[in-house]
Amino acid sequence: MVLRYQIRTCGKTRETTPQPKRESHVAEIPSHKEMHSATLLAAAVAGLAGSAAAVTVHGALVFTRHGDRTTKWYKAQALTSLGAEQNYQVGGSYRQRYLSSSSPDAIRGISQDKYVSSQVFASAPDQGILMNTATAFLQGLYPPLEDVAPDVASQGLNNGTNSTSPLGGYQYVVLHGVNDNSPDAIWIKGDDECPAYTASSKGFSRSDEFRARDDATRGFYARFYDVLAPGVYNLKREDVSYARAFDVFDLVNVARIHNATSPARNVSDEDLAQLRTLADSAELGLNWNASEPMRAVGAKTLSGVVLRQLNATVSSRGATPKLSLLAGSYDTFLAFFGLTGLLDTGADFHGLPEYASSMAFELFTDGNDDKSFPADPAANLRVRWLFRNGTAGTLKGFPLFGTGEASLPWPRFVSEMQKRAITDVGDWCDKCDSKAGFCAAYRDDDGEAGGAEKNSGGGGGDGGISKAVAGLIGAMVTLAVVAVVGGLAWMVLRRKRKGAGRQQGDKTSVRSGSTDERTDTV
């Protein structure tokens, strides 16, 4: 029996029946522009099919989601061996597309087998799951040389012997990990440490849409507490509701994959599909709302780094980087789908992307001129966007920004992205009202954040130093005063200690201190 539930959206009641099996496993929440969406999708696919054999790709950027992982419930999720294999497989697929000499979409001038550091840029937040995601992808992109180019794998030595790198010529592709305390952390995880995003997302739980779905699904969710409670020690009955839609789906899904003794293995495909559909709608609500710009802040900062990386490729005339890789999470995908108008191109974009999903931005010119970069990028260079849903999906092109066009001229792409992107750390600090440590460098004396221009001193005025420099000088002066005072105090105490030492040699020295008397300083 198929369980049906009603969702009230925009004043209308819609009855939803989840599909037990879908090729993409992305929730089908119907768009109000289905006929128009079909036209846009057909145009996008047809446009790409017609140009695939007659273009020259000059550079690309790939943003990928992690593969299969342990549950997020305990806040210590890790990539599983299955997940690593998924990301490795996706990296291999992009190797076939961008590095293979037989591919019509091979990047012009990129090294086919041997990794060249100036050609590839890879970055991920300094989190184990995302660092390992990028590492596995890069292993698939540039596998050990003995497997792909044995003649390149070894180096001859003067004594007549050959030397090969460990693990069959394993290639150490540089991966830039980004610490949470770094300003660069915003580009891939722009919603972290962003109070404005948190406040906006919480607004979804106060909406009529949320309350209607929560009320309509209470009976459905009540069935899963006894399924999950035996294996989740801190699960409360009130946790199993639409308010925790993703967590419930995640716990059931992970248990079905990895826990042979969990009652979750008895959850039907039909029920899992409904849990997935509900999680889809909840997570989309948390990460996109057309009237709440900060709910998509993760997509705004991603757009900023996409512009930066592609512009570097254009500025260097296709020399560096030829390929950029960024590893992130599903929430950024969802926000990007909303920010760029993809929700109107098909129901697939209304749901969670599968494990190891990826999106790609490609810089290309029409024709097979693989000898040089276009002399006039503004006139000849174009950008297309492609999406692959999981490892089983096919990399397909879709139109961005509601244009209905399979690709856009470089200047127009830049213009559209700039309308939506956050490209300055100070701007992010300001819009987020963030208390991140690095935001202090972007705040003025009143505690207000802003771009670099706010703190630069400007071109006019009295020619004084900037506030940032003045603050640094003030800090240095303070440290100097403290050092002088500390030195004088040490000299006085040293003299007292010598005098006391001659009278009471067994007393604790000032240098070692007394742990019995002072316990509040550690």
First to last CA, the chain: 63
**Domain coordinates in residue numbering, the chain:** 22-149+164-423, 425-455
Give the whole-angstrom CA distance, residue 394 versus residue 33.
Answer: 24
**Whether the Cβ atoms of residue 40 and residue 342 lie closer than 8 Å to each other:** no
Long-range contacts of 89-92 (CB under 8 A, 24+ apart): 89/140, 89/356, 89/391, 90/64, 90/137, 90/140, 90/356, 90/358, 90/388, 90/391, 91/136, 91/137, 91/138, 91/139, 91/140, 91/141, 92/140, 92/141, 92/143
- Residue-level pLDDT, tens digit, the chain, 522 residues: 333 343 333 333 334 434 333 333 333 333 333 333 343 344 344 434 434 458 999 999 999 999 999 999 999 999 999 999 999 999 999 999 999 999 999 999 999 999 999 999 999 999 999 999 999 999 999 999 999 999 899 888 999 998 998 999 999 999 999 999 999 999 999 999 999 999 999 999 999 999 999 999 999 999 999 999 999 999 999 999 999 999 999 999 999 999 999 999 999 999 999 999 999 999 999 999 999 999 999 999 999 999 999 999 999 999 999 999 999 999 999 999 999 999 998 887 999 999 999 999 999 999 887 678 999 999 999 999 999 999 998 999 999 999 999 999 999 999 999 999 999 999 999 999 999 999 999 987 566 655 444 433 333 333 333 344 344 444 444 555 445 545 555 554 444 444 444 444 333 333 333 333 333 323
**Which numeric CATH code is attached to 22-149+164-423?**
3.40.50.1240
Specify the pTM.
0.78
Full DSSP string of 50-105: HHTTSEEEEEEEEEEE--SB--STTS---B-HHHHHHHHHHHHHHHHHHT-TT-TT
- Distance between CA atoms of 57 and 382, rounded to whole angstroms? 10
Both tokens of 85, joined, read 């294999």
**At which residue do the structure tokens 């050959």 appear?**
162
pLDDT at 73: 95
Amino acid found at 85: E
Q: Which tokens in the block code for residue 363?
A: 């810089």
The whole-angstrom separation of Cα 190 and Cα 304 is: 10
Inter-residue contact 78 to 128 (CB < 8 Å) = yes
Nearest CA-CA partner of 59 in 123, 122, 112, 105 = 105
Cα 504 to Cα 486: distance, rounded to the nearest angstrom: 25
